[in-house]
Amino acid sequence: MPKTSARLLALLSLLQTRRDWPGTLLAERLDISLRTVRRDVDRLRELGYPIAAGKGPYGGYRLRAGTELPPLLFDDEQAVALTIALQIATTTLGDSTGEAAARALTTIRQVMPSRLRHRVNALQITAVERPAIRPAAPIDNDTLLALGSAVQAHEIVRFDYGAETVDKPPRRVEPHHVITWDGRWYLVAWDLDRADWRTFRVDRINLRVPNGPRFTPRQLPGGEVATFVTGRFRGADDGTTGWPCQGTAILDLPAATVARYTRDGIVEDLGPYRCRLTLGSWSWPSLAAAFARFDTEIDVVGPAELTDAFGHLARRFARTAHLPDAPGGSPIPGSDRAAPAHSE
């Protein structure tokens, strides 16, 4: 039987890989008894890990989100990837988020094994972004998180807006979406006092607490947040971005991550690790490739042409990679569209 410390690390590693673990399966994977599994789970709880136990003759365990952040377990590849991401964040985020990333990077380096610390210290990254059309305003992370929570909970929020708030009542709105556009964060909401839809820059919002009562979400004009926002910002009657092909997909990435590399699209926050992205391009295959550059799981919302474009690219890439039995396929509409003069 492995030592207690080794067993605890192995058990914690397993609990982090899936949502639910039957006790018998954990015992089998660790080559220990079910009674030992129960004792080791109790030890992890004493260390601050919130592990829930299911009922039944065999039981089951789940690592829940806790009120405090317990020690995390990373393998070598995860630790190196995390430090690289934090280095990029410290050089591209100029607000409090960048400062927090720098502190997190220092903390992780201090606890790294020497073999990894030498590898990471040898890699110094400075990320240079293309200049924005207008500089992004600093965002208070607490405000952003509070607005996102209010959107998810359908709670009315009150806030002072802008610099001139003396003797003015707070705005009362039903928050519907937190998005980014051209490097800035916006709140899309129904203004209760003006009885109309409004977009508010998050950097100008000073929230008042507590939140108001819950509300039933209204239907956005145009049905989709992308249609509404592009119509407001671009002034287009049809709500399009001017591209001949436009589509929407859900990515398994935080909205803040996607927003930093998206200037011409709309990013909608759907939770800690998911967002909805709307982009435009000159052809459907190029639009699919624009989504694929984020290197994550993609769930196409629409239209059907975008889904077909992913299939078209999959067949093309399979032929390029000389995969056996790579399927052929006829071009999809728009795939033979000539590239614009500025394309490379």
> Do 40 and 83 reside in the same domain of the chain?
no
- Note the pLDDT of residue 173: 93
The range of the structural domain enclosing residue 18 comes to 4-63
Residue 135 in domain: no
Q: Six-digit token pair at 228? A: 């509404």
How far is it, in rounded angstroms, from Cα 183 to Cα 263? 6
Tally the domains of the chain: 4
Which residue is associated with the tokens 């129960």?
38
Residue 133 in domain: no
- Note the pLDDT of residue 72: 63
> Do 37 and 81 reside in the same domain of the chain?
no
Q: Six-digit token pair at 84? A: 């690289």
- Note the pLDDT of residue 341: 33
- Note the pLDDT of residue 112: 73
DSSP β-bridge partners for residue 61: 21, 53
Q: What single-letter DSSP state applies at residue 175?
A: E
pTM over 0.75: no
> Do 13 and 39 reside in the same domain of the chain?
yes
How many helical (H) and strand (E) elements, i.e. helices and strands, does the chain have? 11, 12
- Note the pLDDT of residue 66: 59
> Do 151 and 172 reside in the same domain of the chain?
yes
What are the angstrom distances between the C-alpha of 77 and each of 58, 73, 83, 115, 193? Answer: 34, 12, 10, 12, 52
DSSP β-bridge partners for residue 267: 180, 277
> Do 260 and 308 reside in the same domain of the chain?
yes
Residue 335 in domain: no
Residue 298 in domain: yes
> Do 201 and 260 reside in the same domain of the chain?
no
> Do 169 and 203 reside in the same domain of the chain?
yes
Pair 255, 267: CB distance under 8 Å: yes
Here the CATH number for the domain that contains residue 34 is 1.10.10.10
> Do 43 and 89 reside in the same domain of the chain?
no
- Note the pLDDT of residue 337: 40
DSSP β-bridge partners for residue 189: 175, 198
Residue 94 in domain: yes
Residue 131 in domain: no
> Do 171 and 213 reside in the same domain of the chain?
yes
How far is it, in rounded angstroms, from Cα 139 to Cα 202? 7
- Note the pLDDT of residue 237: 38
Q: Six-digit token pair at 256? A: 């803040």
Residue 334 in domain: no
Choose the final residue of a domain: 156, 186, 217: 217
Residue 129 in domain: no
pLDDT per residue, tens digit, the chain (344 aa), is: 456 777 887 787 777 766 778 888 888 888 888 888 888 888 888 877 788 887 655 568 887 765 455 566 677 777 777 777 777 666 655 555 667 777 777 777 766 777 777 666 666 555 444 444 444 556 677 788 788 888 888 999 999 887 655 667 888 999 998 887 766 788 889 999 888 888 888 888 888 888 888 999 888 876 777 767 766 665 443 334 457 788 899 999 888 788 777 766 788 888 778 888 888 887 888 889 989 988 888 999 988 999 999 998 888 888 888 776 555 544 444 444 433 333 33
Three-class DSSP category at 209: coil
